[in-house]
Each structure stands twice: as structure tokens, then as C-alpha cells.
Amino acid sequence: MLCEVIVAVVANKMKIRTYDELSRLKTFDERFDYLNLNGIVGKETFGFDRYLNQMFYKLPEWHAARNEVILRDNGCDLGIDGCEIHGIIIIHHMNPITENDVKKRSPILLDPNYLISTAHLTHGAIHYGSKESLVREPIERSKNDTCPWRH
């Protein structure tokens, strides 16, 4: 099975991303850069077979893997302590999955070494955006800063 993953990744000219490698990166920015797809989405999508994807996410095995990853990452965005996720935690497949992965039960689907906890905004930025679209620091406000004629 792992050989199939390697062949698929090589065919897509992508490097296999793993939690083992990711965990060596200490900052949020380094981890984001490691995972960022730069707006490029895999060529194969689920299209009309999206039901396969949705069925997969209802499997007890998925829920067990998901819970294991959340515990490992302490509920933190990209597993960075101090970046707690306040809301829905999305488990991101570090290597884009395809319809074929679901049909053949590829190891990248459930192995925690290929999964990471993300916030919704981070997950969207990994797939479609950039680091600049992420808000991580509160904006410092000042008197009349929303009132241009009072500056």
C-alpha cells in the first residue's frame, strides 16, 4: 500500500508530507510553508463521486484517527502549542487525497503521520490562499481609527 502512495505522489510530482518532518519545524510559519499548496489543487477531484468522500468521513475508523490526531496536537493549529483552535477542528490530509485513495483504502487516509489539526481559516489558506490571509495577532485599536475624518 505505501508503494501505491509513493507512486501516486511521484506521478503528481509532489513530495510526501509527513508529521515526522512537520514536527521538526518549530514555528507556525515554517509549518504553514511546508503544507501550503499555493492555490494548486490536485488534478483528480471527487466531482460526482463526492459521495465517496462523504461516506469516508462517516467511518468509525476515520473518527478514531481524527481523535488521535486532535489529542496528539493538543487541539492546536498545525500542532503549535499556544495556537489553540477555538471552534471546529479540521483534520487536514497533508497529501491531497483522490477518489482512488478512498476506493483502495490508501494508508494516507487514516495514518496520523499524514494528518494534522487545523483551524478552518488555516485549512482554507493551505489549499487556496496564502499566509497573508491568516489573522493570528489581534489588531491594536486606537481612538477614532475607524473614523477617517477624525484623524
Determine phi and psi for 62, rounding to 5 degrees. -65, -45
| Rounded CA separation 4/45 (Å) | 18
Query: Can you tell me whether residue 72 is helix, strand or coil?
Result: helix
| Rounded CA separation 37/42 (Å) | 9
**Residue 114, number of CB atoms within 10 A of its CB:** 23
Strands 115-118 and 90-93: antiparallel
Quick one: cell of 97?
A: 487525497
pLDDT < 70 stretches in the chain = 1-14, 39-49, 135-139, 150-151
Question: For residue 6, what pLDDT is reported?
Answer: 45
Helix count (H) and strand count (E) of the chain?
7, 2
Quick one: cell of 7?
A: 507512486
Question: For residue 12, what pLDDT is reported?
Answer: 44
